[in-house]
Amino acid sequence: MRPAIIVHGGAGRVRDKVDERLEVLQQAVSRGYKLLCDGASALDAVVEAVVVMEDSGLLNAGLGCALTFDGEAELDAGVMDSGSGVIGAVAAVRRVKNPILLARKVAELTDHLLLVGEGAEKFAEVLGLTVSKECLITSEKLARLEELKKRWMKGEDFTWLVKLRTLTVEYPDLFGTVGAAAVDKKGNTAAATSTGGYWLKLRGRVGDTPIPGAGFDALKGVGACSATGVGEAIIRYILCRKVCELMAKGFDARASTEEAIRRMSVEIGEGTAGVVAVDACGNIGYAFNTEAMLVGYVKDGDVKATLLRRS
């Protein structure tokens, strides 16, 4: 079996630090692919790749997470392995810089699929996965949050947060989320997704990232995928399950991602999502309907990382 891995660094708009972000994706792909070549599982590979992106501070996950409207850091993550059938996810967790590791522990050490909030944080404490609040909520992030609030109040950006106005921002560079999908030498597939949500979200908001079938999915003998974009839209469409269903019908990863995004654009709207996938034969695919998307993968033995833009 030919192993393969593909990662994404978010979909939306990208304005700066492009080279640095692409370097992170290259590192993530390289680390994950080496594990696959050494005989590790697809689950090991996707988790390792996501940890690299969470630790970078350059992407909207882990150390680089966005902040809520009132200045908190709440992170989500989810993993799924087609070989063992395990699923694990966490949502709205604070003081955890690698929620993807916590999600895997939920899958492997508990009888649950999803832990949220305080309960998930207590579980993280037991496992030694918590960090200080200052690691995730920096003075730079708080300053950016205040600037985004001002722009939103003036109606200059974040205009799609309409209902929030009834309760009382240049879009972020990326809608957020990092993720990976892989197939190992045994033909097992796995997916992992992690996010800090989006700037100005209300505390307690949970998007697609920890929702199986929406932000991540993996079917035995079929493939796996990870999504990014506007979480509410991805949940409505159940994007990753739609991609896996197409692969189950015989479409390869590329055709499945492209068709799923095409249908989502018609049913939900443009500018909403991106998705990466790998099928059980080792083919990779990606598609998006946003302005741009960061993607990394291995092709012909070479690690590729690129910023994709819509023509």
Active site residues: 177
Beta bridge partners of 193: 78, 179
- Spatial contact of 166 and 149, defined as CB atoms under 8 Å apart: no
CA dihedral 79, 82, 87, 92 (to 10 degrees): 20
* Rounded CA separation 198/200 (Å): 6
Q: Which amino acid is at 21?
A: R
* Rounded CA separation 147/126 (Å): 37
- Spatial contact of 273 and 289, defined as CB atoms under 8 Å apart: yes
Q: First CA to last CA across the chain, in angstroms?
A: 35
- Spatial contact of 189 and 42, defined as CB atoms under 8 Å apart: yes
* Rounded CA separation 48/35 (Å): 9
- Spatial contact of 225 and 264, defined as CB atoms under 8 Å apart: no
- Spatial contact of 277 and 243, defined as CB atoms under 8 Å apart: yes
Tokens 């993720």 — which residue?
179
* Rounded CA separation 147/275 (Å): 30
